[in-house]
Structure 1
Amino acid sequence: MTARAATFHLQKLRRRPAVCGLLLLGGAVIATVAWQGPALSRGWLVAFAVWSCVPVGSMMLLLIHSLTGGRWGEETAAILRPSAALTSVVAIAFLPVLVSFGQLYPWAHAASSVAQDVAHQYLNGRGYAVRAAVALCGWAVLGITFSLGERRPLLAGLGLAFYGATISLVAIDWYLSVEPRYVATAFPATIAIQQLAAALAFVAVFAAPSLDESVASDIGALLLAALVGVVYLEFMTYLVAWYGDLPDKAAWYLKRSPSIWTASIVVAFAFGAVLPFCILLLRKGRRSRHGLRSAGMLVLFGTALHFCWLLVPAFEDQLDVVVAGAGVLAILGVGSMLVGSALIPEAGHVRS
């Protein structure tokens, strides 16, 4: 009887943070949908882009581990599974973006901003909503399914194919189309690898104390590979744009040439890429819990700056967008951490 009572109280305590987190997230979503201020809506888009990287990236890592296996997935399951389960919350957190898309995208209120056939057949409100719904619902189903800990290689393979197809569409819809005349074929791949890097960095920060040296080295190596992928794709995109010297591509980069945005991307590169690269390149750095955690925090910092550099210069009220985005990101982060803490499996149920 005492054991049952103790279990009941433990479950009750674990439920309270989840309820608080859901109330916080739900209240923020409802308030933003009701208000729909331009700066708040734009700030929400920026915050959503940064915050959603971890749940979606965690879902991808679970799918990859279901196909490849390895201790790294088993030892980090206590972090990856709750994070992947939050893909359902990602779908809810997208509602303010969907409701206020007219304030975010030029094509929503000025058809002349894109070619007529593109506006008619693809870049319109109905198509935007349908593609977002398909992607978010599919990711939520995959995230919840694999957060239960079952190994389903066939479903994992199909899920990765589904993710590859949907991220190729929604990355352009959600982020690139804030400036619809700019086109970059590598942009969806950059976003996908950025999500992987953010999820691995999140694991490095929160799972490092419990990892042995071998698993810590594996996580560090995966993070290093993802980091190199993001930098490579971003650099090659710039190089192709510079070499082609096309007006629309030049205009996109010129918007990001003022000193504040030049400084932000330099800081993101130096502290979010070069410094963690140097830490993770050394075997001792990857095996060190402090080194791995430091590299993870730097990558998360660089991810936030990178998305700010990508999105905020597209808007006029940039300072208001940054302030609103920082506040929304804090709310989303705290709320999801509270919900996720209640989803962390007990020690005896972490490994499948």
Structure 2
Amino acid sequence: MILHAYLAAWLLFTGASVGGIAWQAIHRLTGGAWGDDLASRWGRLRRLLPLAALAAVPLLLDGHHLFPWMDEPVEEARWWYLDHTYLVWRTVGCFLAWAAAWWLLARAAAASLILWLFACGVFANDWMVSLTPEWRSSVMGLVVATGHLATGFAASLLMRAPGAPDATDQTRRDQSSLLLATSLGWVYLVGIDYLTAWMADLPYETAWYLPRTEGVPGMLGLAALAAQGFVPFLLLLTRQAKGRPFVLRAAAWSVLLGQACHVAWMVMP
């Protein structure tokens, strides 16, 4: 249980750092005052990436307590994908891809985003989906990528930037709209994943979802939907509310809480 809690905290921490890279790439492609106000904060999040990579070492060393398939001999594993050596190399590859995306920010922002998204897909399969090898989800890479965007944007909104001028009302409205759009996009992807599993009614999907709809995991799932879906929607519904700093900060805190609950819901049961 302690190792699973550490995994959840590491996934959230990594998401915030990687989200900073993705948002800076998006801003370089689109421009806008909304990103000028946050660029220095994204830079501080990016610099956490080496620390996130280092924090993966205990999980890789003690992976047998996380992944049930590690106790099987390699030749009896269900798929070649489920092998500890390959897991280590893929994790190293994901962090190298994110580091390359960081390096490409000023040179080729579009390539930076492509690298980020590809690594998110591999990372999601390795550290979330393969915790239950019988389960699989084709949308989980997008769910994780959108979660990284939500975590990175919310964290940057809550960081202090000493000496920086206060954002204008219009800038805050733009930031509020982006935070809300990211949150609703995440809710949509999570909802579609659950809906398709419910409609298909396949045994491996039912076996994965049922333990997460009861007891504490069920409460975590509801808390994640409320904190990242309903609360930001209600707080940022009007134009006047979007321009108020304390409302934007409250919505950002709610999104972070929702992401923390969702990551715990994914990996703790």
TM-score of the aligned structures, taking structure 2 as reference length: 0.92
Amino acid in structure 2 at the alignment position of 1:309: W
The count of residues paired between Structure 1 and Structure 2 equals 265
Instruction: Name the CA distance, whole Å, in 1 between partners of 2:183 and 2:192.
Output: 14
Q: CA deviation at 1:289?
A: 0.3
Residues 1:91 and 2:53 aligned together: yes
Q: CA deviation at 1:115?
A: 6.3
Instruction: Name the CA distance, whole Å, in 1 between partners of 2:189 and 2:151.
Output: 16
- Correspondence list, 1:27-176, <5 A: 39-110=1-72, 116=78, 118=79, 120=80, 122-143=81-102, 146=105, 151-152=106-107, 154=108, 156-176=109-129
Instruction: Name the CA distance, whole Å, in 1 between partners of 2:132 and 2:246.
Output: 40
Amino acid in structure 1 at the alignment position of 2:151: A
SS in 1 for 2:159: helix
Instruction: Name the CA distance, whole Å, in 2 between partners of 1:111 and 1:277.
Output: 49
* Aligned twin of 1:284: 240
Instruction: Name the CA distance, whole Å, in 2 between partners of 1:211 and 1:96.
Output: 40
Instruction: Name the CA distance, whole Å, in 2 between partners of 1:71 and 1:278.
Output: 25
Amino acid in structure 1 at the alignment position of 2:102: G
Instruction: Name the CA distance, whole Å, in 2 between partners of 1:259 and 1:41.
Output: 21
Q: CA deviation at 1:82?
A: 0.8
Aligned equivalent of 2:264, options 304, 308, 323: 308
Amino acid in structure 2 at the alignment position of 1:278: L
Q: CA deviation at 1:145?
A: 6.5
Instruction: Name the CA distance, whole Å, in 2 between partners of 1:191 and 1:310.
Output: 11
Residues 124-173 of structure 1, C-alpha deviations (whole Å, 9 max, x = no match): 11211111111112213433674xxxx33x2x211211122221112110
Residues 1:298 and 2:254 aligned together: yes
Residues 42-77 of structure 1, C-alpha deviations (whole Å, 9 max, x = no match): 222111112211111011001111222221221112
Q: CA deviation at 1:298?
A: 0.6
Amino acid in structure 2 at the alignment position of 1:60: A
Aligned equivalent of 2:157, options 199, 204, 207: 204
Amino acid in structure 1 at the alignment position of 2:230: V
In our comparison, the structure showing a higher alpha carbon Rg is 1
Q: CA deviation at 1:222?
A: 0.9
Instruction: Name the CA distance, whole Å, in 2 between partners of 1:167 and 1:271.
Output: 23
Aligned-pair identity (%): 30
Q: CA deviation at 1:267?
A: 2.1
* Aligned twin of 1:22: none
Is the contact between residue 5 and residue 264 of structure 2 (CA under 8 Å) also seen in structure 1? no
TM-score of the aligned structures, taking structure 1 as reference length: 0.71
Instruction: Name the CA distance, whole Å, in 1 between partners of 2:171 and 2:261.
Output: 29
Amino acid in structure 2 at the alignment position of 1:159: S
In structure 2, relative to structure 1, the CA distance for the partners of 1:214 and 1:102 (3 Å cut) is same
Amino acid in structure 1 at the alignment position of 2:218: T
Instruction: Name the CA distance, whole Å, in 2 between partners of 1:302 and 1:85.
Output: 24
Is the contact between residue 60 and residue 196 of structure 1 (CA under 8 Å) also seen in structure 2? yes
- Correspondence list, 1:235-314, <5 A: 235-313=191-269
Q: What runs of 5+ residues in structure 1 fail to find an aligned partner?
A: 1-38, 314-352
Amino acid in structure 1 at the alignment position of 2:83: N
Q: CA deviation at 1:271?
A: 2.8
Q: Which protein, 1 or 2, shows the higher relative CO under an 8 Å CA cutoff with sep ≥ 6?
A: 1
Instruction: Name the CA distance, whole Å, in 1 between partners of 2:207 and 2:183.
Output: 27
Q: CA deviation at 1:86?
A: 1.3
Instruction: Name the CA distance, whole Å, in 2 between partners of 1:236 and 1:253.
Output: 14
Instruction: Name the CA distance, whole Å, in 2 between partners of 1:176 and 1:64.
Output: 27
* Aligned twin of 1:34: none
Instruction: Name the CA distance, whole Å, in 1 between partners of 2:114 and 2:158.
Output: 29
Instruction: Name the CA distance, whole Å, in 1 between partners of 2:209 and 2:92.
Output: 31
Amino acid in structure 2 at the alignment position of 1:198: T
Amino acid in structure 1 at the alignment position of 2:191: F
* Aligned twin of 2:182: 226
Instruction: Name the CA distance, whole Å, in 1 between partners of 2:240 and 2:51.
Output: 37
In structure 2, relative to structure 1, the CA distance for the partners of 1:144 and 1:91 (3 Å cut) is farther
